[in-house]
Amino acid sequence: MTGFEILIRIHPEKRAEFLLAYEMLKSNDQQDKDRLELELFEQVIEPNTFLWFERWASDESLSRYTADNRYRAMMGAIDALGQLVYNRKVSTQ
């Protein structure tokens, strides 16, 4: 299994916009059976800093997803609403 984790810092005044964009992405993608896990965590000690985590069944399904316009639009929204700290691919057992 493979996936990614993305750490994001959102401008406080853009928090509601970011959460709305994430919920829209999440609700539009729920039919994808290859996604095994989708989570968004907020750091307790650093408000408006989020860890977005997804786990996928295969590298191929992850590659299709990250090439999709919805994912790319979300990454563009992150650039407009805050700062991407890191985006890294992870492998899980």
1 pLDDT band, cuts 50/70/90, is confident
In this predicted model, what pLDDT tens digit does every residue of 29-83 receive, in sequence order? Answer: 655 788 899 999 999 999 999 999 999 999 999 999 999 888 999 999 999 999 9
Helix (H/G/I), strand (E/B), else coil: 87: strand
Structural fold of domain 2-91: Alpha-Beta Plaits (3.30.70)
Residue-level pLDDT at 33: 82
CA distances from 18 to 5, 48, 80 (A): 17, 10, 10
Residue-level pLDDT at 93: 64
- The Cα 11–Cα 14 span in angstroms is 5
In this predicted model, what pLDDT tens digit does every residue of 4-38 receive, in sequence order? Answer: 999 999 999 999 999 999 998 887 665 578 889 99
Q: Report domain extents, the chain.
A: 2-91
